[in-house]
Amino acid sequence: MTTATSIASSLGLTADDAIVLHNSNKLTLRLLPCDVLARVAPVADQVAQFEVELAQRLAESGCPVAALEPRVEPRVHERDGFAVTLWTYYEPVTAREVPPADYANALERLHAGMRKLDLPTPHFTDRVEQAQQLVANRDRTPALADADRELLGDTLRRLRRGIGERGGAEQLLHGEPHPGNVLTTKNGLLFIDLETCCRGPVEFDLAHAPDEVGEHYPGVDQGLLRECRILVLTMITTWRWDRGDQLPNGRQLGTEWLSQIRAALDREGLETPG
């Protein structure tokens, strides 16, 4: 917080106070009275430069993404071992559930803009592999029971292979366009947190959104979407068993999601281990 306010002040922004909006792998702050959003992460653990460049290019294409702070140069500021980026703060519109059709339309517009970009990004299977490595590492997931470890590892392996063998169209994706990464603003829906971008089928992105959104997105392969939903659920369940996971109630969610994975595999007629 001290680093973020110091950087903002050095750039001519009045930052006498900072309000924590979110604290996970990054610290998200609202700086006042300049009303700027600051994202802070350890230098070693961030891909901030990629996110800044991508946000600029998508905004220039008219994509529904949050904008960088226009009063300062759009770049990553490094100080005291932290990387800080400064963004426009959007006053949230009165909380209400986002209509699935609006969500689907915004995501379709984002994907259309992303198809025009040629950037070196990971493949979605690279992120699946990271989850597989976590499952296989008992030191990092010591509380995971053997049967649950087998379930996660087997599901990740089979779905990663099965989705890849479909050979469908792939493109640049947001990577995690779940409701927590969608802002409801007076400018409409805006996507944030572009650090998770990867390449893959659009169904992988849709798997992060509420189920009804996929019913309004044109040209969706519903069978592939169902497989991607199970894959994404398995991945986020795996993260919850990482001994370093900091999500509140993470272990409770991890336990609940294991049951959901088994139920989903059963619905799809996919055999579970054991």
pLDDT in tens, 147-178: 999 999 999 999 999 998 888 899 999 999 99
Task: Answer yes or no: is pLDDT of 44 > 90.
Answer: no
Q: How many domains does the chain have?
A: 2
Q: Which residue has the tokens 């001290």?
A: 2
Q: In this predicted structure, what is the pLDDT of residue 246?
A: 80
Of the ranges 21-25, 66-70, 160-164, which one carries the lowest mean pLDDT score? 21-25
Res. 273 pLDDT band, cuts 50 70 90 = low
What is the reported pLDDT for 271? 66
Could you tell me if 83 and 109 lie in one domain?
no
What would the mean pLDDT of 200-216 be, rounded to a whole number? 97
Per-residue pLDDT band for 187 (boundaries 50, 70, 90) equals confident
User: Is 42 inside a domain boundary?
Assistant: yes
Q: Regarding predicted confidence, which is higher, 135 or 195?
A: 135
Where among 34, 63, 88 does a domain terminate? 88
Residue 95 lies in a domain: no
Please indicate, yes or no, if residue 273 is contained in any of the structural domains: no
Whether 174 and 235 share a structural domain: yes
- Give the pLDDT score at 19: 95
On whether both 153 and 182 belong to a single domain, the answer is yes
Is the pLDDT at 93 greater than 90? The verdict is no
3-state secondary structure (DSSP) of residue 68:
strand
Q: Does residue 252 sit in the same domain as residue 212?
A: yes
Distance CA 44, CA 52 (A): 17
- Residue 266 in 3-state DSSP? helix
pTM: 0.91
Q: Is 48 a residue whose pLDDT tops 90?
A: no
- Could you tell me if 80 and 105 lie in one domain? no
Q: Could you report how far apart the first and last alpha carbons of the chain are, in Å?
A: 48
Tell which of 54, 88, 122 closes a domain.
88
136 shares its domain with 17: no
28 in helix, strand or coil?
Answer: strand
The answer as to whether 94 is a domain residue is: no
Assess whether 151 and 248 both reside in one domain. yes
- Contact at 8 Å (CB) between 220 and 202? yes
Q: What is the pLDDT of residue 45?
A: 63
Task: Please state, in angstroms and rounded to a whole number, the distance separating the CA atoms of residues 15 and 3.
Answer: 11
* Domain around 194: 100-268
Q: What is the pLDDT of residue 118?
A: 85
